[in-house]
Structure 1
Amino acid sequence: MQVQFYLPKAADPSEASADRSEVLGDSREAKGNNQLLLACQLCAAMYRQNLKVFVYCANQQDAEQVDEVLWQFDAHSFVPHNLVGEGPARGAPVEISWLPPKNNRQVLINLTAAVPAFANRFSQIIEFVPAAESDKDIARQKYKHYRQLGVTPQTVQAS
């Protein structure tokens, strides 16, 4: 099992945020926007590598947000995806859910605050380190959990 923790991109005040607000809408809190967008970009990259992805969310509302962002990708970078219970019987290349997976997938993108009990079913797991210092303890606890499982997580700087 390979585990990667994506570190947040350093804020660049000179960078325009118009692209993100168009994709994510203005109603979401800033702390989750970059993580959500990065998760969707990773879904697209993994789809292009012919990998089956399971995006695990804390609740149905979060899953629907991921679904909505993926639908808003332009036609050239469309990612076939579905919410759990929708689409083909074996699921689209990217399946989004707040429930444990029913189908085998290679990659887990975990958008919850804990390591799911089914994490060991995946060969690759992607986690995120929150940008807010007050939320980083969640990522530290997950990192420790993976270490206790005998896995040495890698850290990746989000670009």
Structure 2
Amino acid sequence: MTRVDFYILPEAGLDARHNFACRLVEKMYRLSQDVCVLTPNAQQCSDFGQRLWAYNPTSFIPHRCRTDEQSESHEQTDKVWVTHGDELLQHHNVLVNLSCEQPVHFSRFERLLEVVVPDKDVVQASRQRYRFYQERGYPIANHDMRR
């Protein structure tokens, strides 16, 4: 069963959310986990891919961005994917959800990481997803990064 982790951040905004997601991706990559990052649209997919390239100048996180059905095929050696749209998800160990919707195929993953910032819309959508996972018996862990 998929394990769900909610990371509650002290800072609001897309930059804070994406920077923390980069940190999570880097950690999972260093642990040799296959990671998929789900963004809400093609523009954020591209933007997050660019952010990953520049995130840490002393490390390198190779990744591919997949923004539509015509994108390059999935390679077994690709450890990190950035995508949007549930129909584009491949199986990986970890899914980082940056969309405000519950991923349709999240149960394909061993872990689902939800990044929550104190923005009204993000918090409201995160609470709905939390209830959804909880009602279905998924194990949930909360990580309060505000402390």
TM-score normalised to structure 1 length: 0.79
Would you say the 8 A contact 1:67–1:81 is kept in 2?
A: yes
Is the 2:16–2:117 contact (alpha carbons within 8 Å) kept by the matching residues of 1? no
Range moving further from structure 2, 77-86 or 125-134: 125-134
Say whether the 8 Å CA contact 1:56–1:109 is kept in structure 2.
yes
Residues of 1 paired with 2:18 and 2:127: CA distance?
19
Correspondence for 1:81: 63
Aligned residue runs from structure 1 range 41-56, under 5 A: 41-56=23-38
Please, which moves more after superposition, 107-116 or 72-81?
A: 72-81
- Distance in 2 separating the partners of 1:128 and 1:95: 17
Tell me the percent identity.
26
Question: Residue 24 of structure 1 aligns with which residue?
Answer: none
Matched, 1:7 2:24: no
| Structure 1 residue 151, shift from structure 2 partner | 1.1
Alpha-carbon offset, residue 93 of structure 1: 1.0
Structure 1 residues 41 and 87, CA gap change in structure 2 (3 angstroms): farther
CA distance in 1, matches of 2:38, 2:89: 12
Name the one with the larger strand percent. Answer: 2
If you compute each CA radius of gyration, which structure gives the higher value, 1 or 2? 1
Name the stretch that deviates more: 81-90 or 94-103.
Answer: 81-90
Alignment of 1:1-159 (within 5 A): 1-9=2-10, 31-84=13-66, 85-86=71-72, 89-90=75-76, 92-99=78-85, 100-133=87-120, 135-158=122-145
**What is the RMSD of the two structures over their aligned residues, measured on CA atoms?**
2.0
For residues 39 and 121 of structure 2, the distance between their equivalents in structure 1, rounded to whole angstroms, comes to 21
Where structure 2 has 5 or more consecutive residues not aligned to the other structure, the ranges are: none
Q: Take 1:103 and 1:90, find their aligned partners in 2: how far apart are those partners?
A: 11
- Cα displacement (A) at 1:91: 5.9
TM-score, normalising length from structure 2? 0.85
Q: Deviations over 1:43-66 (max 9, x none)?
A: 011000000000011100010111
8 Å CA contact retained: 2:100, 2:122: no
What corresponds to 1:17 in structure 2?
Answer: none
Which whole-Å CA distance do the structure 1 matches of 2:73 and 2:57 have between them? 19
Instruction: Please tell me the residue identity of whatever aligns with 2:78.
Output: A
1:109–1:126 CA contact under 8 A, matched in 2:
yes
Question: For residues 134 and 88 of structure 1, what CA distance do their matches in structure 2 show?
Answer: 33
Contact 1:130-1:139 within 8 A present in 2 as well: no
